[in-house]
Structures are given as C-alpha cells and as structure tokens.
Amino acid sequence: MNAPGTAVAGGGVFTADEMMTACAARALRDGMTCFVGIGLPSVAANLARATHAPNLVLIYESGTIGAKPGRLPLSVGDGVLAETADAVVSVPEIFNYWLQSGRIDVGFLGAAQLDRFGNINTTVIGPSYAGPKVRLPGAGGAPEIAASCREVIVVLRQSPRSLVDRVDFVTSVGFGEGPGHRERLGLTGAGPRKVITDLGILEPDPETCELTLTGVFPGVKVADVEARTGWDLAVSDSLDVLSSPSEAELTALRALRATIPAHERAA
C-alpha cells in the first residue's frame, strides 16, 4: 500500500488502498453469503467479518463454505480455509448447486480491466488473444460469479489502463453492450452493483447501465477521477463524499494485513 496518507479523526493516517478496502467492506451486510476472490476482495470480505458483519458467510471456489480464516488466505486452495470452514464440498457442487442456482447473495471480484458497462477482463491485454501484449491469470470462477450471483461488487485500483472504454477481452460479463444484454444472454444475476476504486464508487445508471460516479473519497476531486478514467465519465447529481475509515476499521485491517508474508504484501 503505497498511496499517500490522509488525515483522519484522532490523528491517524490512512492510505487510498485502506480507504478503498474499508469502503468495500461496508458494502457487505451481516448474514450475507459472499463468494470471494483472492486479493483485495478477500481482504475486504475478511475485514467486514472482523468488524460489522461477523455472520458474513465466506465462500471460496475451492469448495469452502463459511470459512473463518484467522489470517488472510494466499490462494483459494490455502489450507486455512478448509480448516476453518463450516463445510467443504466439491468444486462442481459449489458452482452447480450453490452458485448457478442463485444461492449466493454477492460476488466480490477484482479486475485488470473494466469498461464503462462493467465488463471485466482478466485474460489478455492487447488486440489479439493469440498474441497479446500481456497474458493475465485468466478467468477462474469469475465468469460464473459475474453471471449468477444476485449482485456483484468489483474492487480495483483506478487508472486509464484499468478503467477503459472497452475491455480488450470479455472474461466476465457485466452489462455487455448496454441495457438488455444480460437478459439476451440468459444471465440470472443482477450484474455489477458497485465498482469500488482507490478514488471512489461507481454504480450503473438504471437506464443506460453505464457506470456513473456516485461517491468520492475525502480529498478526491471529480477531475481526479475523470483523469484516471478511459471514457467520458458520467457523474451523479447527488455525489457523496464517503466517510473515512474509522479507527476500529483501520486497526482490524492492519491486523489482517500483518498476517500476509512480507513478500506478498504488494499484491
């Protein structure tokens, strides 16, 4: 976490990543079932469970249901997830019975690229799949999560390279090419409801499905967000300035981050 610090009540400081993670955690309600991706989504989900949502049910695609890790897992196959889960089932059961049937409240995903309609790319950067500039880790379970969860929250750091007008490759469908696209594809989930970056929150316009800036972090100006967006960003008429992380959130978050091995913390 190398973003500049910002003053908070009580004399502490927080980084943009800490603000983003706290904001993402607040989007989760106690008692929800949450399908969690590794990285920032896992940090945010575990922060929520450690603070305001102790009954949040964490589900990882390796088959763990109700995982309660005492440290942040390094992968979906980390043993701490199975050791602390209420149940461990097969991967086909997680996807066929739990996910595809609409039993998961929220899917928490990251992205390498995200476009104005909330489509996610974690596959390739460049115009050609066969000969990309960069080949990314790939889909994993994200396409099914994006298709079938009742809602999706996306967390990523914002730049013109990450928020693009059109993704180079659609790994996971958001709203496709706009209104009605999910329905034409037969996707049962509602799609992305929030995109949380290190500058603020974007949400889909109910009419156009285009991501719209609805909230900014303390000290962030709309022009800052526009400069780090790869399209002509729409801004809500009722733009919110979001609350800084509380001391309790920062304490819990830093305790979680401290469980990550030093060589993994920059991820």
Q: Report the amino acid identity of residue 226.
A: E
CA 41 to chain centre: 5
Active site residue 61: yes
SS3 236: strand
Strands 211-216 and 200-204: antiparallel
Identify the active-site residue in 18, 61, 144, 249: 61
Query: Residue 218 and residue 200: Cα distance in Å, rounded?
Result: 9
Q: Which residue from 266, 212, 252 is spatially nearest to 71, judged by alpha carbons?
A: 252
Using the Cα atoms of residue 188, residue 193, residue 195 and residue 196 in order, give the sign of their dihedral. Answer: negative
Question: For residue 193, which phi and psi values (nearest 5 degrees)?
Answer: -105, -30
Beta pairing partners, 154: 109, 195
Name, in order, each residue with C-beta under 8 angstroms of 125's C-beta and a sequence gap of 6 or more.
112, 113, 132, 133, 134, 136, 168
> Which positions are catalytic?
61
